[in-house]
Amino acid sequence: MKKFEATAKGVYAIAVTPFTADGAIDTASVDRMTDFYLSCGVSGLTILGMMGEAPKLDLAEALAISSQVVRRAPVPVIVGVSAPGFAAMRSLARGVMDLGAAGVMIAPPPALRTDDQIINYYAQAVAAIGADIPFVLQDYPLVLSVVMTPKVIRQIVMDNPSCVMLKHEDWPGLEKISALRAFQRDGSLRPLSILTGNGGLFLDFEMERGADGAMTGYAFPDMLVDIVKLSQNGQRDAAHDLFDAHLPLVRYEQQQGIGLAVRKYVLQKRGAIAHDAQRVPGASLSATARAEVDFLLSRLARHDPRAEL
Amino acid sequence: MKKFEATAKGVYAIAVTPFTADGAIDTASVDRMTDFYLSCGVSGLTILGMMGEAPKLDLAEALAISSQVVRRAPVPVIVGVSAPGFAAMRSLARGVMDLGAAGVMIAPPPALRTDDQIINYYAQAVAAIGADIPFVLQDYPLVLSVVMTPKVIRQIVMDNPSCVMLKHEDWPGLEKISALRAFQRDGSLRPLSILTGNGGLFLDFEMERGADGAMTGYAFPDMLVDIVKLSQNGQRDAAHDLFDAHLPLVRYEQQQGIGLAVRKYVLQKRGAIAHDAQRVPGASLSATARAEVDFLLSRLARHDPRAEL
Amino acid sequence: MKKFEATAKGVYAIAVTPFTADGAIDTASVDRMTDFYLSCGVSGLTILGMMGEAPKLDLAEALAISSQVVRRAPVPVIVGVSAPGFAAMRSLARGVMDLGAAGVMIAPPPALRTDDQIINYYAQAVAAIGADIPFVLQDYPLVLSVVMTPKVIRQIVMDNPSCVMLKHEDWPGLEKISALRAFQRDGSLRPLSILTGNGGLFLDFEMERGADGAMTGYAFPDMLVDIVKLSQNGQRDAAHDLFDAHLPLVRYEQQQGIGLAVRKYVLQKRGAIAHDAQRVPGASLSATARAEVDFLLSRLARHDPRAEL
Amino acid sequence: MKKFEATAKGVYAIAVTPFTADGAIDTASVDRMTDFYLSCGVSGLTILGMMGEAPKLDLAEALAISSQVVRRAPVPVIVGVSAPGFAAMRSLARGVMDLGAAGVMIAPPPALRTDDQIINYYAQAVAAIGADIPFVLQDYPLVLSVVMTPKVIRQIVMDNPSCVMLKHEDWPGLEKISALRAFQRDGSLRPLSILTGNGGLFLDFEMERGADGAMTGYAFPDMLVDIVKLSQNGQRDAAHDLFDAHLPLVRYEQQQGIGLAVRKYVLQKRGAIAHDAQRVPGASLSATARAEVDFLLSRLARHDPRAEL
């Protein structure tokens, strides 16, 4: 098993799940996609997240994909195990760890409201999967309707030593990164890796606020890797120049509902997967939308040759 | 396989799932509970619904319980197959039908909003599980946040011949029953069994509005059976007298969140299950709450000897 | 001004707002209704709550009704001042206090999620209306989607000396009363009047858990007054007997959406108001529903002569 | 009164409401701001929208601001009149029309769910304010949780001749513009002005999909005016070049919750208002956030001299 700790840095790509046109898992593309992400320089992979269409897979499929990716990738692989109940969460979590996953990711169920409900949920989740499995806390209020204050996140991290990373996806969220880093400076929060999501829409400033990198699925993970490196090296203007060149497409891909269709379309054009199909229910791009993406790619190609497709 | 058709009438008990104190499935109690419901005179059983703690089971457990109940019960067994995605729904649905289930029940996912989204969801669900599996449409806005108008229900029923029953659980919902029955009188809706939920809180009038019976889990299914019979026989005052005697407890059991704890506590007292334990996360009754239920039972026993426990 | 303090006990009727058939305020009925509530033995009146159709009034109307009721009623009158913003809340609150209201009631806006958001909201509300105005904290998660733990309520009460009462309307909520009373026994919560809502659906046990009375609008406030008295006198069985006789109607009136139509229909039959009209948007009762209420009243009349209408 | 019809085109700026540091309305800045927007070349002004902090004003304040802006601006002024009830909506709508407003804007209340509920709500709203007042239909599911399909929008427009404009703010929403324009081509939808919101985040493609302009409050309305013109002239690359230069700031300002603080900060720097204060409750910018905005402005100034502040 590869190490997965609170010192993690860099880009963990949120991997798509490749399907064929008829909805079967495209096994050949799973390898191709894994290789593609690795070639982009990612530090890890996160599979079976929301943008990995995890809820559309059954358990056997989830385990098969996990096994295939874990065997192929020399980097830590995190597996999304969010589930309606703890029995299914445990089955999947123990299953993928046995296969060699480095850790799991857990999102809160949408019904949680109070601070205590959220804190208790994570205590129960850790009791269910076992305190030996490192896990990522996913904080994504826009989609999940669960709002975690920095204090609540601190409590979860301090209560559960197996919590090693925050997938930061609050919106807006820049001040939240600053607040968590301030907790660490005042000694009330132990080390915690913070990787950011939201399709990269704020990665430029998230890095400056103290993020350790990105955990998101933008179709140019190589750009995310570059931004993280430039930022870590203090090359602020270069980081922003590259970021700004990609922003029109990042923004387009970040549309709820059809964002994944955009992402898969670009990944297919880049050769990372053979088909851009989603399982039902899923959005598809109109001819106009595809033309808009092509137009954005052509404009991007003036600044970044990787967009010449 | 027992027949499950739009002509179904009577009480389909929403079965609890019996657990031991440590959260394991209490296999002995599964048989005991099945026998208990049958002795109450139910026309069918619905297992793995929300009050059956279905989301807390993994697939293997769900199949095992289904198999055990189906083999023992000479009445139609409906299995809840609501799932975050269609692959898991299909696996469970095909699995339980192979085991001899009579049909399945499908609740809409909470994110659905527009009429078309709801109608499309059921079209996709039927495509996923197969049009050969009879299914129950669950309409439960209080908990699911999905609001289906009578027109939308009619559309789903007319679009999908395999939809044979509505689990009516709107709140308030009396006018909805009247509206659906009016559609049938005007010829725009084909035959449809309507069984009502909400713990039986409105069963007295639901029957009078045209319901075919109840599909709910109140701890006295024998009372539900009696009410349905009295109502079908036109014994209005007798039906209301019995209903009113139970209403204080029905009301107490209908509390969201702790209702299932009340139900299991009474079922345990009645000998239907060995333990009243729930899997995590689940509410438990305080000593005061247990005393309140005992008090309600003692008052009920004056009118209904089945409550002498 | 009548005193309104944390020692308040008894029944504060949630008053309806009487309209004529064309939606105008029925001024004559405002007096008639006030007299009716007083004749029922209420300890106070709460006007312009949700069931008082407050959001359907403009400011001038709200002030006019407040003035009329306050002048006529020798008991404390509480006025609902929940508003989308603090300027409107302040205008209404200062206005009605000038007219002689005893206090105001404030519900949290539905968007609040975290503990801190709720606590801060009440701090801001008090800053807006002034710390000299006694207020009722309304806790009604079923309708408002805001969940306040007992700890959060305690914090609000301790932070704001002008908070003198909780309108308890959590669902389920019995344990919440017990938790708050336990806080008082351990010294962490100062005196606080707790009056319960939910149409009276749990008043029998709420009193036994430590409530000081009811603040709700069931169409038989005289029954609520009796229950509170019987319970305070320790006449448990008598309290439950009376409660159980009313429960079929209480339950019917407690239906979300059409409950107010039921309430106004019964109040009209009792002579408390001249018309049962609601302003748009509002539900109306079908002929079948009216017949159901009549049937419930006729059954109730066997136990309680006040229901002979 | 200036004309406000379905042929409206161009930019209608969503105006902020200027406050002094202590929360009073900054009357001098109301004029200054009006002049600023006019100098940017806007075709109309929309005041008292959500980003105008309308819910924080009382009725007298709302009327006073409306009067001041309407008297000064030679362009149509639209006033947001969304309210918890129709009496308040009517009071404000009639009041501002008497003052010379060109029309009003109405957002749906968050509780609406079904297609029929939404359609009925607008019928009731028009009945309340009067069919003689031209109104803007606001479609903003991200914040309001109300999802209107193109068919529902068409129904509202066809049912209500006084509906002259859609404030398009669905997210994602490009296909919705295409669907509505297709309805017009097939003759099922009458002329309708479509102005787009979302802070301008998709204005580049919204124009290409058939929008008539923008109704949003980005702090560079002059840029919005330029984009609309360039797009209308078919200068696609120039439109995108200008758009892309602003996108990093547009994106930063589009953060829910703190976006208005960013907007007011920039408007203050541009001299449009004297203070960037918001009324409580409102977000404020940290020093870091202000520095981030300054940095974005400095980068933007390389492409657009208007950002040299």
Phi/psi of residue B45, nearest 5 degrees: -130, 140
Q: How far is D244 from chain C (nearest CA, A)?
A: 33
Give yes or no for residue C1 having a pLDDT over 70: no
pLDDT at B1: 57
Q: Tokens for D209, please give them.
A: 């999909």
Residue B137: Cβ-neighbour burial (10 angstroms; 0-12, 13-18, 19+): buried
Amino acid in the structure at residue B137: L
- Closest to D216 measured CA to CA, from D12, D7, D5: D12
Per the omega criterion (within 30 degrees of 0), is the bond before A150 cis? no
Among the partner-chain residues B117, B146, B149, the one whose CB lies closest to the CB of D116 is B149
Give yes or no for residue C184 having a pLDDT over 60: yes
Q: Are A16 and A219 in contact (CB under 8 A)?
A: no
Give yes or no for residue C284 having a pLDDT over 60: yes
Secondary structure percentages of chain B, helix, strand, coil, to 5: 50, 10, 40
Chain C contact set for A148 (CB, 8 A): 114
Chain C contact set for B244 (CB, 8 A): 244, 247-248, 299
Residue B167: Cβ-neighbour burial (10 angstroms; 0-12, 13-18, 19+): buried
User: pLDDT per residue over A235-289, tens digit each?
Assistant: 999 999 999 999 999 999 999 889 999 999 999 999 999 999 999 999 899 999 9
The region, left, alpha or beta by phi > 0 then psi within -120 to 50, assigned to residue B198 is left
Give yes or no for residue C203 having a pLDDT over 90: yes
B124:A56 CB<8 A = no
Average pLDDT over residues A69-92: 97
Give yes or no for residue A1 having a pLDDT over 90: no
Rounded distance between C-alpha atoms, residue B138 and residue B215, angstroms: 10
Q: For chain D, positions 187-206, list CB contacts with chain A under 8 A.
A: 201-202, 204-205
Chains with 3+ CB–CB pairs under 8 A to A are B, C, D
Q: What is the mean pLDDT of chain C?
A: 97
User: pLDDT per residue over D174-202, tens digit each?
Assistant: 999 999 999 999 999 999 999 999 999 99
Chains with 3+ CB–CB pairs under 8 A to C are A, B, D
B85:A56 CB<8 A = yes
Give yes or no for residue C171 having a pLDDT over 90: no
Among the partner-chain residues A86, A120, A280, the one whose CB lies closest to the CB of B86 is A280
Any alpha helices (H) in chain D, and if so which ranges?
A: 27-39, 59-72, 86-98, 115-129, 141-144, 150-159, 174-185, 203-209, 221-232, 236-253, 259-269, 287-301
pLDDT above 70: percentage of residues in chain A = 100
Give yes or no for residue D2 having a pLDDT over 80: no
Rounded distance between C-alpha atoms, residue C82 and residue A19, angstroms: 51
pLDDT at C275: 97
Among the partner-chain residues B114, B146, B148, the one whose CB lies closest to the CB of D149 is B114
Q: What is the mean pLDDT of chain D?
A: 97
- Using pLDDT thresholds of 50, 70 and 90, give the confidence band for residue D257: confident
pLDDT at A2: 76
- Closest to A42 measured CA to CA, from A77, A17, A70: A77
User: pLDDT per residue over B273-294, tens digit each?
Assistant: 999 999 999 989 999 999 999 9
3-state secondary structure of A307: helix
C116:A147 CB<8 A = no
Instruction: Supply the DSSP string of C112-159, one letter for each residue.
Output: --SHHHHHHHHHHHHHHH-TTS-EEEEE-HHHH-----HHHHHHHHHH
Q: Are C199 and C259 in contact (CB under 8 A)?
A: yes
A171:D256 CB<8 A = yes
* Residues of chain B below pLDDT 50: none
Chain B contact set for C175 (CB, 8 A): 258, 286, 289
Chain D contact set for B139 (CB, 8 A): none
Nearest CA in chain D to B118: D114
User: pLDDT per residue over D278-294, tens digit each?
Assistant: 999 998 999 999 999 99
Average pLDDT over residues A214-232: 98
Q: What is the mean pLDDT of chain A?
A: 97
Q: For chain C, positions 120-149, list CB contacts with chain D under 8 A.
A: 120-121, 124, 127-128
Chains with 3+ CB–CB pairs under 8 A to B are A, C, D
Model ipTM?
Answer: 0.97
- Using pLDDT thresholds of 50, 70 and 90, give the confidence band for residue D171: confident
Average pLDDT over residues C97-114: 97
Rounded distance between C-alpha atoms, residue B261 and residue B255, angstroms: 10
Give yes or no for residue A205 having a pLDDT over 80: yes
User: pLDDT per residue over C27-75, tens digit each?
Assistant: 999 999 999 999 999 999 999 999 999 999 999 999 999 999 999 999 9
